[in-house]
Every structure is written in structure tokens, then in C-alpha cells.
Structure 1
Amino acid sequence: MTTFVLVSGPFTGGWVWRETAGRLREAGAQACPLTLTGLGERRHLAGPDTDLETHIEDVVQLIDHLDAPDLVLVGHDYAIHPVLGAADRRPERIGRIVHLDAGVPQDGDAALALVPDQEVRERMLRPDGPAEYGGRVPAPKSGEWERWGSTAGLSARALDLLDRNAAPQPSGTLVQPLRLTGAAGAAATTGVFCTASGMTIAMAEALVRSGPPRFRALADPRVTFFELPTGHWPMLSVPDRLAAVLLAAAAGEGHRITVSGDEQPFSAKPFVLAPPECPRERTGAVDLFLPDADGPRPAVVFVHGGPVPAGTRPTPRDWPHYTGHARYAASRGAVGVTVDHGLHDLTAYARAAEDVAAAVALVRADPRVDADRVALWFFSGGGLLAADWLAAPPPWLRCVAASYPVLAPLPGWNTVDARFRPVDAVRTAGELPVVLTRAGLEHAPIAATVAEFLAAAGTAGIRIETIDVPDGHHGFDVADHTDDSRRAVRAAHSAVLRHLLR
């Protein structure tokens, strides 16, 4: 008989699992919903010292009092932090860990980094933030649950249950870093994506194949994946389907991601073109790729995608992808520029925007650059950084380009500042030329933001020059070494250069 330990996210308690637990028991499993200290019917136990360690101990105590081997620990949202902490202390008791619409926190990570409510996160980041809240983050009010996750699929009754039963979250649980020794590293793992939150198995596969090396761990044969077509609270929106998924996960079922041993990560894949070498100079976080030409030349600043975890090596400005674009720009007579910026997580767009602005200022101050002829070229998740430049284009900005960009925060990206919405900013772009390269096999959530962007531009009378790669994937300029990819890259560079020289 499989035993499930069910631990829910912020503001909720064991009550939220009632229907899912019932389905599991009907199937012959043992289901043990856990209410963490300070929440649900235990809200009166919250105190100034209630923190992540308190919640880890809650899970450990339940594990110790269950007479069952190979427990399945299910952590929803924030609860994956205490679940992983407990598994690290009782690894011999754990058969599988299920990340239910939850992240994959590492040693030293605090849950606050992924709190989707921007106002709460920013307030808590202040030195006196937790004290201002009196040690407890207020539960969302009626109509505010969307700020903490997609409410897709929730009935009026389910939303009413959240409103009536929600309890304030002890602030110490969000700010205390998770400490892991790695003892539970051998446990089997399952990720369950609630697709209305924005993540899908296809996107996870793309991260494994083209993202930072740390995502390669998701291709371990002990890791499986499921999708649920619903929002962030599947135990309330689709309890039957969630129970079926948990039972299948416990049986070792689910989708597995496979990669060949010699498959290169995105950071090492070669560019689709082979532009000649050229002089390269580094100043701080900025690299200039210089053309063989006299006098000040126009410049193209290539803004990498992300988020890219801090500590990733090599950094993006050294990836063949971006150096290839910069060298090709130099071969066409422009100064190519690569830059490292601080988009290390979804909360860091403002910092990244400052880094890009500083890089552009440095480039324009270089005597080899024509300061009145600059283009900015954005890629993937870096596309959101185009918003500032589209909203109020300076006169020296001759073109904005974007390749397979994210042009509005994706579902579940609630932590992104509302300022970074190119779908809105494009309405005031005026006469600024925009060159957009689309991948025909783009991930559906990203493609939806591109469609929204084009519709907004059309309504505002903004002309967008589009270059399509019908059989191209996200990142086609390193992922798909085809004639169509090469044609698209050349065409996009030609368009940008045309606007720079006009």
C-alpha cells in the first residue's frame, strides 16, 4: 500500500487535499494530508519563531510516526521547501518526491525568491519587511488569488473555500534559506506541471537540451513528468485527475526526458553561420567585435535571453550563439556587441534592464561607434527587456530586433514587474523599426505572446517587419542547422543594417 504525504503551499492546510486524499484512499492508498504550523486548523500555533525549520520538522515528525516504507512526499508550491528539507533528513524513508507545480530549490535558496506577488516580495525584501508584517504575510483577499498562481479551473465554490480557510503565512518560512546536504539525492522524483501556470513538458525538454547544464539532471531516468491542464490549485480544480497522476507517479510512470550523451548544451552549440574572426575587446561586462572599417561605425547590441542562473560558466557573452551574431554583424560593417546582464531569475528584470542601459551607454561613448546609429537585438526571455526601448525610443535607436522572443510575461511569471510588457509598450513605439524573427515550431505560450504583440502593433499602426522560419524551433540559430535558419539570420541582419544606415 502506497502512502502519500500531502503538503500544500502557502496560506492553505491539510483541508485543501480533502477530495484528492479521498480518491487516493478509494484506490487503496494511504493519504496523509499535513497542515503545517501556523496554517489551517493550526494557525493559532504561529509564533515569531515559526520558520522553514519549523515546517521541515512538521514533515519529519509525520514521517517518523508513519509505519510505512518508501513514502511518497508531495510538495505543492512553497511546500516543496519543507518536503525537500525533510527528505534530506530522512532519505531512507523516501521512495519518491513529487514537485506539484513547484520549483526545484537548491541548497541556500529561500522561498521568497519565487513568491509571485510582486508587492509582497518587494516589501519582504526590505530589512524591516518581515517585522512590518508582524511576522505573518496576510492571506490573499477575495479576488487576489491570481497574484499567487493561475486560478484556471477553480469553481466559485473552490475560490470560496480558499477565501474562507486561508491563513496568514508565517514570514520566517519564506525568508529562511533551505539547507540541504544532498542526502536525498538518490530519491526518485516526479514533476507535475499545471499547464495554465505556463510550464509544460515540452518546455522542460527544451531546458534540458538547450538550457544551462544544471537542467541536465532532469534527464535522469529516475525523473518523470506529468501535465495537468489546469491552474495552480489542482487539488481543488481537478482532484480526480490529480489523484490518478499521483498514483501513476508512485508506480514509476510518467514521461521521461532523454538526451544523447554527446548532445551539447545551448551554451556550447555552434552558430548556424561561420563568420570570420575579428578583433574583440572587453570592457567590464561588454565585448566589442570590431569591423575592418575606418571611422565611427553603427553598432548592434545583442541582448541575451534568460533567466540564466548566476554562476553559469561560460557566461552568455561567450556563448557561440551570441559571439556568432556579433562576429557576423562585424563582417557586415557594424560593431557587434555582446553583454552579460543580471537576468538570473524572474525577479531580476529591473536589474537586467539597468545593466543593458549601462552597456548601451558604454558602447555609444566609444569613439569607434557612431553614437547616433545603434540597434538593440533581443533574444528569447530577454525579449521582455525591449519594453523600455519600445515605450520611449531615443532618437539614436535606429532599430529594435527580436528573435523567438517572449513579449509578455508567460503564464505563471507573476514575479515579473508589470513594466516589462512589450505587448503594451509597442503601442508607443512610433516610427521605430522593429524586426521580428519567428520560429514556426515555437512553444505555444511564447508564440501566444508574439501573436498578441503583432495584434497590438497592428491596432496602433506600428509596422513590424517579420521574418519566418516555418520549421524552426526556439533557438533555431543554434538548434537547427538548416538553409532556412541561415537564410533567416542573414535576412534579419540585412534588415537591421538597412535601418542603421538609412
Structure 2
Amino acid sequence: MTTFVLVPGWFTGGGIWQEVAGRLRAAGAQVHPVTLTGLGDGDPGPEGSPGPDLETHIADVVRLLDEPAAPEVVLVGHGYGIHPVLGAADRRPERVARVVYLDAPLAGDGDTPAQAVPDRRALDLLGRGVAAIPVPAVGEWERWGSTAGLEGPALARLTALAVPHPAATLTQPLRLTGEAAALPTTGVLCTAGGATIAMVENLVAGGPPQFRALADPKVTFFELPAGHWPMLSHPEELAEVLLAAAAGQGHRIGVPGEPPAYLRPFVLDVPDATRERVGRFDLHLPDSVADGSGPRPAVVFVHGGPLPAGMRPTPRDWTTFRGYGRLAAAHGAIGVTLDHRLHGFGDFGRAAADLADTVDRLRADPRIDPDRIALWHFSGAGLLLAPLLAAPPPWLRCVAASYPVLAPLPGWGPVDPRFCPVGAVSGAGRLPVVLTRVGRENPAFAATVAEFLAAAQACDAQIEVIDVPDGRHAFDTLDPGPQSREAVERAMRSVLTHLRA
């Protein structure tokens, strides 16, 4: 008989699992919905009492695992709940059959739950040292995750069940020894919030190395067409998924047989160029610069992210960006590849400052024409376009974006509201924008591009769209075919045309 321990997310107690628990019990399972300390349904606890922290919530789950009659259990962590689940599994791995991440972040040793909080106002409150985060109003839950599928009564019920969330449970780091690292895991992806199996496959194939662990045969995935609270919007489907997960079912990514996308060959065979390293950026120089033919235009290639701070090699050494830098040099421009500090969803301001500093240094270089610079952004760095679109500087002749994200996604945490190109494009005026989009894009990413193009059309912005119908995210190394080669060449020709106009 399968035993489930269901650990809720922020603001909620065990009562939120009522429908799911009933369906699991009807299927013959034992079910223990957990109400974590301080999150009793409708009961915030005695006023002035010491608030619980993350270790308190881990102990709540460990106590269930220590019950003598409890067999190996399937631990389900919803959102915030994955942190006490992982802490308990680390302390009692022999009691756990599987860990299920229900629309939950990949949390590791030293991470705080606050890193996954998407509501900037809540983060401001945490910074001011409040004891608890107030319950969102009925119309404010979207700030904490997609409310897709929740009609008015369901949102009202969520609000009625909720209590203020103890702040110390969000700010205390999770401490893990690695004891539970070998446990089978399942990710339940709620697609209305932007997470899909296709996105995970892209991350495994072409993302940072830490995502390669998701290709382990012990890791499975399911999708639910739901927002962040599927236990309220899709209880029957969620119960079926949990039963299937407990049985070891689900989609497996499979161990990839090739290197990650950013280390695969660039789609174009471009000649080598002199490369000069200056601080956090590299210059790829055309022969004409060495001949002293005068200042040249520059194209700055801005990698996506977030990427872990310790990732090696860094993006300017990826074959992707070395290829783009050489391609610009082959066309007579100076290609600039940049390492910026977009290491988390709260780092867009820091990454923008790195980009601005790089441009200032480039414009001071006598080999570069200070009034002929283009910026070319990739993937998550699409958000860094927003300040440039809102108020284009006079030196910026063109911006380009390849497979970009052009608005923050609901699960992306504390993204500064300044970084939303959809809202900024109305200020672009006649600034040329060269946008390369792929037909096999992550649906959530594609939706931001569609929203951006609609906003651009409404303000008559100057947008050129280059389509790669069969291309994937990172098509410029993942899909080495004629369609990809033509798209990259066309985009480069267009950018250089605007630079030389």
C-alpha cells in the first residue's frame, strides 16, 4: 500500500489537499496531508508567539517519517513545501520511496526558500524583518504563481484557507548532507506557469551542467495543464499523476549522448579571428583593424541565463558565442562576447550594469566607432532589452534578439519590473529590432514573443522577424541545417546593414 505525505506550499495547511487526498484514499493509498507549524488552516497561531523557521517545518515532516507504522513514503512537496520535504528526506532517506516536486523549485544545500518567492513586495517585507508575510488578497494570488484554472470561488477558498506565512521559514537556508541524493524523484510540471517537459529537455541538452542530473533514469516527469494550485483546479488529474509517479511511471529525459548545446559546433563554418580578452569581455577583431583602417562598428553578443556563478566554461568561451564573434569579424565588424552576472532572477539589474560598463569601455576604444554599436541578446537576456527599448541611446544603431524571452514568467521570482520588453517597446521609436524566433520554442517563451510583437505592432515599432520553423531554442548549435544557417546569416546581414546605414 502506497503512503503519501503531502506537504503544502506557502500560506496553506493540510486542508488544501482535501479533494486530492480523498481520491488517493479511494485508490487504496494511505494519505497524510501535513499542516506545518504556524500554517494551521485559518489559524495563524497565538499572537506574539515565536515564529517557526525552516528547521521547524523539516522536523514536522520528520516526525511523520518516524512513526513506527509508516512504511516507505512518497513525499510530495508543493512549491515552498519542497524545502521541508528535502530536509526531511536528507535526514531519513531510508524511509522515503520517492520525492515529488509539485510545481516546485530545484532547491539545494544553502538555498533559502526566499530565492523562489516571485512576489517582489513580499521580498521587500522580508528585507524589513517582518515576522510573517500577509495573506494575498483574492486578486493578488497571481503574484505567487499562475492562477490558471481557479475560478472566483476557488480563489476565494484559497484565500479563506490561507494564513500569514512565517518569515523565518523563507529566510533560513536549507541544509542538506547529500544523503537523499540517490532517491528517485518526479517533477510534476504545471504548464500554465511556463514549465514543460520540452523545456526540461532543452535544459538537459543545452543548459548549465547541473541540469544534466535530470536525465538520470531515476528521474521522471509529468505535465499538468494547470497553474500553481492544481490540488484546487485539477484534483482528479493530480491524484492520478501522483499514483503514477509512486508506481515509477512518467517521462524520462534519457542520458544525452552529445555535449551540451553551447559546446557543440556553431552552425556556420567561420574563419578564426584574433581574439583579445579585456576584463569580462572578448574582442573578435577583423583583419582590417590590424591594418589600421580606422574605427569599426561593434556587435555585442549578450548571453542568456540565469547561469550559475561557478559555471565553466563561461559563455564567452562557448562555441556558440565564439562563432558569433568570429562571424561579425568576418564581415568587418568587431564582435564582442561578454560574461555578465545574471546568476539569478534577481540579478537583471546587475547584468544590465555589466552590459552598460562594457559598452562604455568599448566606446572609449579607438578601434571602435563609438556611435555604431549593436546589441544582440539571447534567450533570458531578452529581458535586458527593456531599458534600451524604453529610451534608446544615440549610439545604439540596432538591437537583435535570438529565441528570446521578452516578459518575465510567473515562476521566475523577483524580476525587477523595469525588465519587461513587452511594456518597453512603445518607447523604441525607429530603433531597428531584428528578432529571430524558432518554431519549436517553449510555449511560455513563445507566448512572450507573441505578446511583444503585438505590442510592437500597436506602436508601429520597426521589427524584422526571422523565422526558423523547425528550429529549437539554441537552434544555432542544436539544429545544424540549411534553415539554421540561413537564419543566422540573414540576421547578421541585417544587423550590419543597420550599423552601416
Quote the Cα distance in structure 2 between the aligned partners of 1:414 and 1:311. 21
User: Which residue is 2:120 aligned to?
Assistant: 118
Distance apart, 1:267 and its partner CA: 2.9
The question of whether the paired residues in 2 share the 8 Å contact of 1:411 and 1:445 is answered with no
User: Which residue is 1:397 aligned to?
Assistant: 396
User: Which residue is 2:144 aligned to?
Assistant: 148
Which amino acid in 2 is paired with 1:265? P
Q: Cα deviation per residue 1:29-73 (whole Å; 9 max; x = unaligned)?
A: 000001011112463168435111111011101111251322000
Which amino acid in 1 is paired with 2:358? A
User: Which residue is 2:306 aligned to?
Assistant: 307
Q: Scaled by the length of structure 1, what TM-score is found? A: 0.96
Question: What is the correspondence of 1:167-178 to structure 2 with a 5 Å cutoff?
Answer: 167-178=163-174
Quote the Cα distance in structure 1 between the aligned partners of 2:77 and 2:496. 51
Which amino acid in 2 is paired with 1:118? R
Q: Name the SS of the counterpart of 2:419 in structure 1.
A: coil
Which amino acid in 2 is paired with 1:148? W
Q: Cα deviation per residue 1:280-308 (whole Å; 9 max; x = unaligned)?
A: 12222111111111211100000001111
The question of whether the paired residues in 1 share the 8 Å contact of 2:281 and 2:337 is answered with yes
**Residue 476 (str. 1) matches residue 478 (str. 2):** no
Quote the Cα distance in structure 1 between the aligned partners of 2:247 and 2:240. 11
The question of whether the paired residues in 1 share the 8 Å contact of 2:99 and 2:186 is answered with yes
Name the CA shift for 1:337/1:449 in 2 (closer, same or farther; >3 Å).
same
5+ residue gaps, structure 1:
none
Q: Name the SS of the counterpart of 2:277 in structure 1.
A: strand
Question: What is the correspondence of 1:273-312 to structure 2 with a 5 Å cutoff?
Answer: 273-293=268-288, 294-312=293-311
User: Which residue is 2:103 aligned to?
Assistant: 101
Question: What is the correspondence of 1:427-446 to structure 2 with a 5 Å cutoff?
Answer: 427-446=426-445
Which amino acid in 2 is paired with 1:119? R
Distance apart, 1:329 and its partner CA: 0.3
* % identical aligned pairs: 63
User: Which residue is 1:358 aligned to?
Assistant: 357
User: Which residue is 1:189 aligned to?
Assistant: 185
Which amino acid in 1 is paired with 2:284? F
Query: Does 392-401 or 359-368 show the bigger shift?
Result: 359-368
The question of whether the paired residues in 2 share the 8 Å contact of 1:190 and 1:249 is answered with yes
User: Which residue is 1:54 aligned to?
Assistant: 56
Distance apart, 1:438 and its partner CA: 1.5
Q: Cα deviation per residue 1:90-133 (whole Å; 9 max; x = unaligned)?
A: 00000000000001101110010110101111342x3xx22xx1
Structure 1 residue runs of 4 or more that deviate by more than 3 Å after TM superposition: 45-49
Quote the Cα distance in structure 2 between the aligned partners of 1:48 and 1:254. 42
Q: Cα deviation per residue 1:456-501 (whole Å; 9 max; x = unaligned)?
A: 1111111211222121111111111111111111111111111111
The question of whether the paired residues in 1 share the 8 Å contact of 2:196 and 2:442 is answered with no
Which amino acid in 1 is paired with 2:76? V
Q: Cα deviation per residue 1:357-378 (whole Å; 9 max; x = unaligned)?
A: 1111111111111000000000
User: Which residue is 1:347 aligned to?
Assistant: 346
User: Which residue is 1:44 aligned to?
Assistant: 45
Which amino acid in 1 is paired with 2:161? N
User: Which residue is 1:68 aligned to?
Assistant: 70
Which amino acid in 1 is paired with 2:392? P
Quote the Cα distance in structure 2 between the aligned partners of 1:237 and 1:255. 23
5+ residue gaps, structure 2:
none
User: Which residue is 1:23 aligned to?
Assistant: 23
Number of equivalences: 495
Which amino acid in 1 is paired with 2:171? V
Q: Scaled by the length of structure 2, what TM-score is found? A: 0.96
**Residue 255 (str. 1) matches residue 251 (str. 2):** yes
Q: Cα deviation per residue 1:369-397 (whole Å; 9 max; x = unaligned)?
A: 10000000001111111111111101110
Quote the Cα distance in structure 2 between the aligned partners of 1:69 and 1:86. 15
Q: Name the SS of the counterpart of 1:405 in structure 2.
A: coil
User: Which residue is 2:369 aligned to?
Assistant: 370
Quote the Cα distance in structure 2 between the aligned partners of 1:184 and 1:196. 30
Quote the Cα distance in structure 1 between the aligned partners of 2:356 and 2:287. 26
